[in-house]
Amino acid sequence: MRTTPGVLLTLLVGSISQAGEMSTSSGVPLTFESSELHDWAGTWGGEPFRSLMVLPGVSHIVSGASLPVVRGSAPSSTGIYLDGVRVPQLYHVWVGPSAISPELVSGFDFHRGPPPARFGRELGGTVEARLVAPSTDTVRAAGSIDLFNVGVLTQVPIASTGTELTLAGRFAYTPWIAASVINGLRSSPGPDLVLGLFDYQARVTQAVGRGSLRLFALGSSDDAGLRGTGTVVRLGTAFHRVDLRLTHPLGAGEAEAAVTYGHDTLGANGGGEASRVTVGLSERTLGARVAWRASLSEQLAVETGADVERRLADIDQSTTFRPGEAGDPSRPTVTTGVLQSLARATFAGAYAQATWTRDRWRLTPGVRVDGYLLAPALNQVAVEPRLHARAMLSETVALRLGAGFMHQPPAHLIDAPGVEAAALRLGMQRALQVEVGADVRGPAGFTFGADVFAHPMLRTVELDVLSFDMLADDPVARGRKRTAEGHGYGVELLARRALSDRWSLLASYTFQRRTLRTTVERRNDAGQVVGTEQVSLASSLEQAHVFNTAVTVKLPWGLTVGTTLHYNTGMPEAGNLLFSYTQREGVEPEKGTSRWIPADRDRVTRLPGYFRVDGRVSKTGTLGPLAMEAWLDVFNVSLTKEAFRYTYGREKGGLVRKPFGLPPVTLPSLGFRARY
């Protein structure tokens, strides 16, 4: 790649936290504590991960679905890690409440660009979430209830044995009650409504000599739809993780060894009395990881490690039908089914990095090597050199540079069990990520950041959301058809004032472009394909401009108020997922009348921009040993409507194009929380 001043400028990564502080991390991410995020409006009562949608470099698919699109990449390309364990599904049914109890998360670090070398296999961002620290002195408990969920967290230390137990979880009681009431009021026989969502987390920490043994389990289950007799449709998802980790001093540093087991499922069925179809995806994973970190001197810190994961994915398809005349009780029931192996894949990696600090300079070279095995379709080794550098120009100004190669299997829009492993047969995705930034510590507690990034995409594979390409008869040809090259680039600005005695502010602006070299069809005025051409197209997830502001103000009498303002420009109207495809005026060949025909892909319009205001008010107080809080958090208090498609029709003899969207999606969260 030819070096230009513009490319050199893109090597600057701004992160407004910890300017001037020594860190053994390979890059300074955006770091937040849950206490800072707690009062942000629009986070459904303080769910930490929903605050990602306010940060620079992040856009959304549909407002309210807090699936982060980091620098234009699909949400499934961003990894969410909770104390070292990757969370496969962050929200119930992907768009509902968080599958992780907010009480359990103490904060997170957000890497928008190349993360530390211990992370790999992702082209999007990386989120490292931290668990609340084990309680060492007394029993602690927290309980919350809102319009949707009831949740608890309990921490019990056993000083005599050096043991601590933490239990947390939430149950969505409102959908369950609603389904029970609706089923009870039904006057005629028919299918029952099912609405069930719950999650759990459990941690046992045990002191072992100078080290610590930690057992961490978490999981989530969703079940929604109609079951029983009659016409039914039902969707169920679940994931479970069990992670056993030992950390212990070793030499000049600390060693870590862990083993993780996981089981993910996704099932759907639908049909009537005559026939029903059931499809289920299942993935079992078994992984292990080791690491060693040490500060060898005041100037030098090192980290090295390795990990391996075996994934077994299957797809179960069955059909039940009753041939014969409807209403005939003697009709036989015929069931056909097939259990098919979707993938048997192995992912293995090793990494090493060193952080050298001298005076005002910090340099972190590193390398990661990953192996991907899906016999007999793929056996590939990917080498990912990475580099981060930081220079303190003064006590208040820092410059930073980051670069690295990244690889990832093809991925769907959202995570689904087995999809990533099976998609290996379509070939790897590859990208170079380079970025440059500046951090400035300003007056009155303000910090400012500016980032410029460039992501040359050497190979991407965009999967069809509504079909499983990896089951194609010729996956190599299908992968070649969906392969594209392109590039992403953009600018990110951030102003931040952490919560003080009175108020806090976070304002972010993102300009981003993501284009892919793609084959488009050329159509004449009759809508007939007359040729093809290779052109650069905007990604279907690209929102060019995104602006957010979150303000929190503390008032007397324990009152806190906050608001969040959001604006984004629309994505290309390219017909993906819920969105329509741009139509243009054409001619009916036989009648010579006007009609709608598809526009060429590089000439599609964009969906309308969207503006939203969220609001929050809370009241805190104490009652003996209890700290209590009541809150009202309203997502989209402005009642604005988001148009995500256009309708194309005919009225009074003419062609008519109208924006279409759901009624304003306004979600209130009224709740109460108590801590002991």
pLDDT digits over 52-77, tens only?
A: 999 999 999 888 888 899 999 989 89
What tokens does 164 get? 């601590």
The residue-averaged pLDDT of 419-448 equals 92
Bridge partners of 281, per DSSP, are: 266, 315
Separation CA 238–CA 196 (nearest Å): 11
Cβ–Cβ contacts within 10 Å for residue 521, how many? 13
Q: Closest Cα partner for 511 from 541, 476, 543, 487?
A: 543
Query: What's the pLDDT tens digit per position in 506-523?
Result: 999 999 999 998 888 999
Separation CA 433–CA 458 (nearest Å): 11
Q: What is the pLDDT of residue 551?
A: 96
Q: What is the DSSP letter of 5?
A: H
Question: Please, which residues have CB within 8 angstroms of residue 95's CB and are 6 or more apart in sequence?
Answer: 62, 64, 65, 66, 67
405 has pLDDT over 70: yes
Dihedral angle sign, alpha carbons of residues 62, 66, 69, 74: negative
Question: Please, which residues have CB within 8 angstroms of residue 29's CB and are 6 or more apart in sequence?
Answer: 15, 17, 109, 110, 111, 112, 115, 128
564 has pLDDT over 60: yes
The residue-averaged pLDDT of 88-109 equals 92
Residue 127 has phi, psi (to 5 degrees) of -120, 120
Separation CA 476–CA 377 (nearest Å): 9
Query: What's the pLDDT tens digit per position in 358-395?
Result: 989 999 999 999 999 998 878 999 999 999 999 999 99
Band (474; pLDDT cuts 50, 70, 90) = low
- Percentage, residues of the chain above pLDDT 90: 66
252 has pLDDT over 60: yes
Q: What is the pLDDT of residue 661?
A: 75
Q: What is the pLDDT of residue 51?
A: 93
Top-confidence residue, 329 or 668: 668
Top-confidence residue, 652 or 290: 290
Separation CA 50–CA 53 (nearest Å): 6
Mean pLDDT taken over the chain? 88
CB 571 within 8 A of CB 607: yes
The residue-averaged pLDDT of 101-116 equals 94
39 has pLDDT over 80: yes
333 has pLDDT over 80: no
Residue 248 has phi, psi (to 5 degrees) of -160, 140
Bridge partners of 652, per DSSP, are: none
Residue 132 sits at the vertex; the CA angle it makes with 59 and 244, to the nearest 5 degrees, is: 95
Amino acid at 433: Q
13 has pLDDT over 60: no
Cβ–Cβ contacts within 10 Å for residue 533, how many? 12
Separation CA 448–CA 227 (nearest Å): 54
Query: What's the pLDDT tens digit per position in 126-156?
Result: 999 999 999 988 999 999 999 999 999 999 9
10 has pLDDT over 50: no
275 has pLDDT over 60: yes
Q: What is the pLDDT of residue 87?
A: 96
Residue 502 exposed, middle or buried by CB count within 10 Å (0-12, 13-18, 19+): exposed
Question: Please, which residues have CB within 8 angstroms of residue 652's CB and are 6 or more apart in sequence?
Answer: none
Question: Please, which residues have CB within 8 angstroms of residue 184's CB and are 6 or more apart in sequence?
Answer: none
Residue 110 has phi, psi (to 5 degrees) of -120, 115
The residue-averaged pLDDT of 415-423 equals 88
Q: Which stretches of 313-456 are DSSP H helices?
A: 419-422
Dihedral angle sign, alpha carbons of residues 515, 516, 517, 519: negative
3 has pLDDT over 70: no
Residue 99 has phi, psi (to 5 degrees) of -85, 0
Residue 504 sits at the vertex; the CA angle it makes with 498 and 509, to the nearest 5 degrees, is: 85
| Residue matched to tokens 């526009």 | 599
Bridge partners of 27, per DSSP, are: none
Query: What's the pLDDT tens digit per position in 575-597?
Result: 876 788 999 999 988 888 899 99
Q: What is the pLDDT of residue 327?
A: 66
Separation CA 96–CA 370 (nearest Å): 34
pTM summary value: 0.91
What tokens does 110 get? 């957000």
Separation CA 105–CA 127 (nearest Å): 12
Round to the nearest angstrom and report the end-to-end CA distance of the chain: 58
Separation CA 15–CA 580 (nearest Å): 37
The residue-averaged pLDDT of 29-34 equals 90
332 has pLDDT over 80: no
Band (96; pLDDT cuts 50, 70, 90) = confident
Band (436; pLDDT cuts 50, 70, 90) = very high
Of 262-276, 549-563, 575-589, give the range with the top mean pLDDT: 549-563
Question: Please, which residues have CB within 8 angstroms of residue 5's CB and are 6 or more apart in sequence?
Answer: none
What tokens does 108 get? 């997170």
